[in-house]
Amino acid sequence: MVTNTEVKELGHFINGAIVPGKSGKFSDVYNPSLGTVIARVPIASKEETQQAIATAKAAFPVWRALSVGKRAEIVLKFRQLLTERSDELMELICTESGKTKEDAKGEITRGLESVDLAINAPHLLKGEYSVNVGGNINAYSTKAPLGVVAAISPFNFPVMVPLAITSMAVAVGNSVILKPSERVPCSALFLSELWKEAGLPDGIWTVINGDKDTVNELLESPAIEAISFVGSTPVADYIFATGSKYGKRVTALGGGKNNMIVMPDADLEQVSNAFLGAAYGAASQRCMAISTIIPVGEKTANNLVKVLADKISKLKVGPYTDPEVDFGPVITQHSKDTVIGFIDRSLKEGATIVCDGRNPDIAKDSNGFYLGPTLLDHVKPGMEIYEQEVFGPARNVVRVDTLEEAIELINVHELGNGVTIFTNNGAAARKFTSEIEVGMVGVNVPIPIPVGYHNFAGWKRSRFGEGHMFGPDQVRFFTKTKTISEKWFEEDSESVSTFAFPSNND
């Protein structure tokens, strides 16, 4: 079992150094595997947040003026350090989030994809050039950094999401302020040390720990040019509305109810194995986790549920120090209670339970926040557990008669993050990918998360704003374009006034 009794007092990372909190307010950081407090993170006051913003703003001009090649060198050095010290970072992720080592390692690997893309900033920042667009005038465009930008990240990916929403922002010349989840602050502070060692100038990377008041200060500050957020849909809605009100560029990614359609021709052994990891990995605390499996046809449903019941009953939940566990605890006791509440209410609404994970064996001997895998059958649209995002290992089976019915169910839901279909029928796959109204779509791919050089974002109320979490659109989000038209006169050339609107007829 995990053993850790030391309670550390953390700080903020401002102007190149860890500084203690001054507000006197702290939040406990738990080891979810033990249910014990391992650290106390300071909650920034308004004055501390304003100081962090002022420091970032003061540092920006020097970083902006540095050549993009030199900035890329620093990002590359950061990547090297991240790779060299990945084992330390993996341990931090496991300790403060409860993830298994395999899952934490995968998170770091996916985070590195965003850093890799940022290293290519010199190429991605290239503008356009047109010669003699008319009247011996040349036109060209350049991309400039915005200034100070803020990133607000969730607890479920302590490293991948912060890297995804900050790496390109740094590389293209901005000052970045990260407000990590107060539940997992240690990983963000570790990244700060690596940026410092990589040679990033003081003030360009800031970590400010805090709560809603801290977020509001970032949203309202006139010095912050853009906000990038990943979290729940209600908070994403608030972030977008408030940030936009104060004139900021905002991208806010919310939650998802991600579905896996299973056609009658699909191999149920392949489907069930794919579903297990996609549904229960990381204790189902992923915005791209499969929450609902939709078998088409009664025979498909009956056979699939039978196969799933057998496989789910063999899954093991426990601490990350046990190499045989499939997933760990949820993040807090409150999260555990919330998931159990969803299960209890779904049974009252008419769902039937196939696998019951509300009281796993490990919970009898541990104070960790453990839930086993739960599978509910005969879940219907309109039930709370179907309509709302459940951040914990309670997954649903919704039975339909046709592919058309499945597509309609998914399309009318307010969330549209991810979806996948398992089939060997190309026509069914084509119909599905053409008609489905979801941002990230898979065909025989259980979790259709794009690689770091493709854009990541959902549709509908899974995304507010037009930005993306990673991919080439990050460059557009974190820069502003300047278009320049220039003409050089030859000596003794004649000129006359014209009052017609400029055109390219010359």
Tokens in use for 157? 């990916």
Residue 457 lies in a domain: no
Residue 416 lies in a domain: yes
Contact criterion met (CB below 8 Å) for 373 and 315: yes
Residue 248 lies in a domain: yes
Instruction: Count other Cβ atoms within 10 Å, centred on residue 250.
Output: 25
Say how far apart CA 14 and CA 393 lie, in whole Å: 37
Q: What is the CATH number of the domain that holds 435?
A: 3.40.309.10
Query: Which of 407 and 470 is assigned the larger pLDDT?
Result: 407
pLDDT in tens, 29-57: 999 999 999 999 999 999 999 999 999 99
Residue 491 lies in a domain: no
Residues 96, 232 within the same domain: yes
Residues 411, 424 within the same domain: yes
Residues 468, 409 within the same domain: no
Q: What is the largest CA-CA distance in the chain?
A: 93
Task: Indicate yes or no: pTM above 0.85.
Answer: yes
pLDDT in tens, 145-193: 999 999 999 999 999 999 999 999 999 999 999 999 999 999 999 999 9
Give the chain's domain count: 2
Residue 368 lies in a domain: yes
Contact criterion met (CB below 8 Å) for 109 and 189: no
Residue 319 lies in a domain: yes
Q: What is the CATH number of the domain that holds 233?
A: 3.40.605.10
pLDDT band at 498 (very low <50, low <70, confident <90, very high): confident
pLDDT band at 1 (very low <50, low <70, confident <90, very high): very low
Residues 478, 430 within the same domain: no
> Is 80 exceeded by the pLDDT of residue 485?
yes
pLDDT in tens, 298-349: 999 999 999 999 999 999 999 999 999 999 999 999 999 999 999 999 999 9
Residues 123, 87 within the same domain: yes
- 214, with CB counted inside 10 A (0-12, 13-18, 19+), is buried
- What pLDDT is stored for residue 2 in this prediction? 43
Residues 289, 423 within the same domain: yes
Half-sphere exposure of 294 (CA within 13 A, CB side): 25
- 504, with CB counted inside 10 A (0-12, 13-18, 19+), is exposed
Residues 162, 209 within the same domain: yes
> Is 80 exceeded by the pLDDT of residue 434?
yes
**Structural domain harbouring 75:** 8-254+462-483
**What would the mean pLDDT of 439-468 be, rounded to a whole number?**
86
pLDDT band at 377 (very low <50, low <70, confident <90, very high): very high
- What pLDDT is stored for residue 3 in this prediction? 47
Residues 383, 294 within the same domain: yes
Residue 72 lies in a domain: yes
Which residues are catalytic, by number? 287
Residues 275, 237 within the same domain: no
DSSP 141-164: EEEEE-SEEEEE--SS-TTHHHHH
Residues 289, 216 within the same domain: no
Which stretches does DSSP call E strand in 180-276? 205-207, 224-230, 249-253, 258-262
Residues 75, 133 within the same domain: yes
**What would the mean pLDDT of 372-394 be, rounded to a whole number?**
96
**What would the mean pLDDT of 460-485 be, rounded to a whole number?**
89
**Which residues are within 8 A (CB) of 185 and not within 5 positions of it... i.e. 6 or more apart?**
10, 29, 39, 41, 96, 207, 209
- In a 3-state reduction of DSSP, which class is residue 491? coil
pLDDT in tens, 240-292: 999 999 999 999 999 999 999 999 999 999 999 999 999 999 999 999 999 99
| Residue tagged 């990377």 (tokens) | 205
Residue 82 lies in a domain: yes
Residues 222, 310 within the same domain: no
Residues above pLDDT 70, as percent of the chain: 98
